[in-house]
Structure 1
Amino acid sequence: MHVSHLTLHDFRSYDDVEVPLDAGVTAFVGRNGQGKTNLVEAVDYLSRLASHRVASDAPLIRAGAEQALVRAAVVRDGRTAVLEVELNPGRANRARINRSPLSRARDIIGILRTVVFSPEDLALVKGDPSERRRFLDDLLVLRTPRLAGVRADHERVLRQRNSLLKTIYAARGSSRDAALATLAVWDEQLVTTGTQLLEARLALVADLAPYLGKAYEAVARGASRDDARVAYSSNLPLLAQTGTATALPSADLVAIAFRDELARRQADEIGRGLTLVGPHRDDLVLTLGPGEEERLPVKGYASHGESWSFALAMKLASYDLLRAEGDDPILILDDVFAELDADRRDQLAELVAGAEQVLVTAAVEADVPTALSGVTYAVAAGEVRRVEG
């Protein structure tokens, strides 16, 4: 799978730009602020309808424009499909495949698959649990696109339920009784969507774990594949000590435990106006060490170099897992080489050089390792020019 042509209208800094692309390695080189990352961000956006840089779509629209358009010709098994997303701030986005509109924009997710390496990846190991949950859920959706709907439904239920909890706190008498009856309805919806997310996350962590060990061994000097571990930490007592799909009880038992915990925490939730139970409160536990007794959390204990290696290994493991289950994802290396020492830079380049398509951004051409020699585009002042020779 690779992108053969990228078209942007009013996306980020570009009013209009057309970029032909080839399989193999393409590097976009330019000083910071010239628009090189905007190009690869657009490709990634088509993959999962989200940016790796910002949380909302509004910053993706060029200043003064009412909407933006991202279009890419995607080649898979010798056939080309044209994917297109129209970004509409304050309104529903629209998506098309080969000019035919889709009923929902999210139906385009998963047709193009990307894995992005960027300086922001360090937040995977040093940031808040929300960063690790987003990493998991983004990978879930690429792996099983139908879960985009489950994820969206769960987020909608959370918003509605949190609003209702605040209403209950302020209500009295019959109004409070009616609101509590409504809460029971939202509880069931939360249990339904939350249980599906929990099952999918646990299965993903179990499948990702062996790839993580192998990837960490490849990027960290002197490491073995048993050094890096990942486990799932749930706030449901039934799952608190599991962390793997093999230890996961049936969906019915998980749902029962979910309901019981919601009932136990109901007074706390009403008092705080927040949903305190469910996968939106969970985390990934990332640890390093040669044995169980020596194992320590990466966050707070690992050196900067170890943290970087772990973050890179998480992304490499994602790529290897997706690749094992289907087509090669498109690899995007966004200004990542400037953050690495020479050894890690060369190791990463050698590991990804065989991918069907690699898109690289760099401030100077010297930052791109020799193993990733290919087509180069110079990016300056919103212009994208292919460098010949």
Structure 2
Amino acid sequence: MRVARLSLHDFRSYPEVEIVLEPGPSAFVGANGQGKTNLVEAIDYLSRLDSHRVSSDTPLVRAGAERAVVRAEVVRGDRTALLELEITPGRANRARVNRAALPRARDLVGVLRTVTFSPEDLALVKGDPSDRRRFLDGLLVLRTPRLAGVKADYERVLRQRNTLLKSARSGRYTNRQVDLSTLDIWDDKLATLGGEIVAARIALLHDLAPFLVESYRTVATRAAPDRRDVTATYRGSVVSDDESPAGVREALLAGIEERRRDELDRAVTLVGPHRDEVELVIGDLPAKGYASHGESWSLALALRLASFTLLRDDDGDDPVLILDDVFAELDEGRREQLAELVGDAEQVLVTAAVADDVPAALAGHRFDVHAGKVTEA
């Protein structure tokens, strides 16, 4: 799988730009603030409808414009598809494949698959549990696109349930009676959707584990010859011996019932996949708080490389690999090692502020990016 052509209209800093891309590595080189990351962000956004840089759509639209449009020709085997996404802040985005409108923008998820490694990925190790949940869910919907809908439905139910809990707490202080009869309905919906998400996350982590171990061993070898193995364990807000969706659903219902009083007191849902954690351990110690800076970088990179290998292993097609401004953070040994690891990928897109930071094996086709202009070097 690869992107053959990228076209942007009012996306980030670009009023208009069109680029033809080749198989293999391509490097976008330019000083900070010139727009090189915006190019690969657009490709990544087409894949997941999510940005690795921001949490809302508003910054994706050029200042002063009403909407942005991203188009890409995607080649998979002997087939080519034209993907189009119209991004309008405050309104539902619209998507097309080969000029045919999709019922929902999220139906575009997974048509193009990407794996992106960027400086922000250090948060996968050092950040909050939400960073690791977001990583897991992003990979989850690329493997099983329909789960994007399940996740969206879960978040809607969670908002509704929290609103009801807040109303109940407010009623205590105003002597206003709040009807809680619908809470059981929201409990059931939350547990049903949450059970599917948690079961899928656990299964994904199980599939990812051997690739993560191997990736970390490979990445960390030069930096630490006496390297230790890494493990990733799912820590849920409830524990279920039965890890099927139905089994997790029953455990969630029991957990909700047990914490009902706490939830009414705090006016927030305390049980569900939105409270869960992925614990990363290097050797015998949690990576968060104990891993060195180098170990944290190695682990973050290993998570992305393992994701790439898992997606490739699913159907034999390589996802598009994006390395966004990472080489400045790596020493020469890790740069060369990373280049060796990904050199056989069908398409690798690299951004860098300095051309010399890009290993020769990934220099490939080079584009210079300056003041919003993209020219082939």
TM-score calculated relative to the size of structure 2: 0.96
Q: CA–CA distance in 1 between the matches of 2:227 and 2:20?
A: 39
What's the secondary structure of 2:106's corresponding residue?
Answer: helix
Change in 2 beyond 3 A, CA 1:249/1:64: closer
Q: What is the rounded CA distance, in whole Å, between the counterparts of 1:287 and 1:169 in structure 2?
A: 39
Equivalent residue of 1:5, what SS? strand
Three-state SS of the structure 2 residue aligned to 1:44 is helix
Q: Which residue of structure 1 aligns with residue 250 of structure 2? A: 256
Structure 1 stretch 211-220 or stretch 224-233: which is displaced more? 224-233
Structure 2 matches for 1:61-76, cutoff 5 A? 61-76=61-76
Q: Which one-letter code corresponds to 1:380 in the other structure?
A: H
CA root-mean-square deviation:
1.3
Q: String of CA shifts for 1:7-46, please: whole Å, max 9, x gaps.
A: 0000000000001111111100000000000000000000
Q: How far is the alpha carbon of 1:88 from its aligned partner?
A: 0.7
- Per-residue deviation, 1:362: 0.3
Contact 1:216/1:223 (8 A) holds in 2: no
Question: Cα offset for 1:269?
Answer: 0.9
Name the CA distance, whole Å, in 2 between partners of 1:320 and 1:181: 48
Aligned equivalents of 2:83, 2:306: Cα separation in 1: 27
Counterpart CA distance in 2 for 1:191 and 1:34 is 46
Report the 3-state secondary structure (helix = DSSP H, G, I; strand = E; otherwise coil) of the residue aligned with 1:232: strand
Q: Which residue pairs with 2:350 in the alignment? A: 360
| 2:183 alignment partner in structure 1 | 183
Paired residue type of 2:208: L
* Counterpart pick for 2:233 among 208, 231, 234: 231
Q: Any residues of structure 2 matched to 1:122-141 within 5 Å, and which?
A: 122-141=122-141
The residue identity in structure 1 corresponding to 2:308 is Y
Q: What is aligned with 1:381?
A: 371
Q: Deviations over 1:353-376 (max 9, x none)?
A: 110000000001101001213100
Q: Is the 8 A contact 2:220 2:227 kept in 1?
A: no
Q: Are residue 323 (structure 1) and residue 330 (structure 2) matched?
A: no
**Whole-Å separation in 1 of the counterparts to 2:210 and 2:320:** 22
Aligned 8 A contact 1:202 1:248 in 2: no
Shift of 1:248: 4.1
CA distance in 2, matches of 1:355, 1:29: 20
Q: Which residue of 2 aligns with 1:156?
A: 156
Per-residue deviation at 1:66? 0.2
Task: State the alpha-carbon separation in 1 of the partners of residues 150 and 325 from structure 2.
Answer: 33
Question: 2:263 maps to what in 1?
Answer: 269
SS of the residue corresponding to residue 10 of structure 2 reads strand
Bigger mean CA deviation after superposition, 26-35 or 254-263: 254-263
Cα separation, 2, equivalents of 1:185 and 1:174: 22
Q: Compared with structure 1, are the counterparts of its residues 258 and 21 closer, same or farther at alpha carbon in structure 2 (3 Å cutoff)? A: same
| Offset at residue 312 of structure 1 (A) | 0.4
1:350 maps to 2:352: no
In the alignment, the residues of structure 1 paired with residue 113 and residue 251 of structure 2 have an alpha-carbon distance, to the nearest angstrom, of 35
Query: Partners in 1 of 2:39 and 2:158 — Cα distance?
Result: 33
Q: For 1:206-225, what aligned pairs fall within 5 Å after superposition?
A: 206-221=206-221, 222=224
Q: Structure 1: which amino acid aligns with 2:368?
A: A
Residue 287 in structure 1 maps to residue 276 in structure 2: no
Q: Distance in 2 between matches of 1:187 and 1:351?
A: 46
Asked if structure 2 preserves the Cα contact closer than 8 Å seen for 1:25 and 1:373, the reply is yes
CA distance in 2, matches of 1:132, 1:233: 11
State the match for 1:11 in structure 2. Answer: 11
Distance in 2, matches of 1:226 and 1:208, equals: 18
Deviations 1:330-370 (A, max 9, x none): 00000000000111111111101110000000001101001
What secondary structure does 2:72 align onto? strand
Partners of 1:382 and 1:72 in 2: how far apart? 19
Distance across 1 between alignment mates of 2:155 and 2:40: 27
- In 1: Cα distance, 2:154 partner to 2:365 partner: 42
Give me the whole-angstrom Cα distance separating, in 1, the residues matched to 2:343 and 2:367.
18
- Alignment CA distance shift 1:43-1:92 (3 Å): same
Equivalent residue of 2:177, what SS? helix
State the 1:249 CA deviation. Answer: 3.8
